[in-house]
Amino acid sequence: MSASMAVADSVWKTMESTRSVTNEQLSILHFLFGKNLERATRILDQRGVKRISGEPSGRFIFQVVGESRRKEEYLCFPEHYCGCYSFFYDIVNRGEQLCCKHQLAARLAESLGACTEVRVSDEQLAVLLSNL
């Protein structure tokens, strides 16, 4: 894990424990993620993050709405993967970003308890994951 991600993880953990965010934490995250953080907060403001949980296992994935007019929905694991173009182009191929705006939106929503909770069967979750 990079030093930047270690700092971000520390901020996320503090936010999770308080279910709030301070101006200092936002400044740190903005320094690390720049415009992607701004875009992620817009997604969050529009209630664009769903946490889809399988039952009875409790396994989950996030579904995050994009910002374009088409309002695509991307499945993502905030710390590891997003199905969007930017994840593959900017993060995997070019290594220019730490994560995409959808991953950030999911991480923010999870830390602040601001996700829309959706419960499905483990079988339904498996079908959803098989489409990745």
**What's the length of the chain?**
132
Residue 49 CA to residue 98 CA, distance in Å, equals 20
Contact between 32 and 12 under an 8 Å Cβ cutoff? The reply is no
The mean per-residue pLDDT over the stretch 9-23 comes to: 92
CA 34 to chain centre: 15
- Whether residue 43 contacts residue 101, with contact meaning beta carbons closer than 8 Å, is answered with yes
- Which tens digits make up the pLDDT trace of 59-90? 999 999 987 777 799 999 988 999 998 898 88
* Residue-wise pLDDT tens digits, 51-60: 999 999 999 9
Asked if residue 78 has a cis previous peptide bond (ω within 30° of 0), the answer is: no
- What's the order of all strands across the beta sheet hosting 73-77? 81-82, 73-77, 60-65, 49-55, 116-121
The string of pLDDT tens digits covering residues 84-103 is 988 988 888 887 788 999 99
Q: What is the pLDDT of residue 1?
A: 64
Beta-bridge partners for 61: 52
Could you read off the pLDDT of 97-123 as tens digits, one per residue?
A: 889 999 999 999 999 999 999 999 999
- Residue 117: enclosing H or E segment and its boundaries? strand 116-121
Token code pair at residue 17: 């424990």
SS3 55: strand
- Average predicted confidence (pLDDT) for the chain: 91
pLDDT at 92: 85
pLDDT at 3: 86
Count of other CB atoms within 10 angstroms of residue 116 = 12
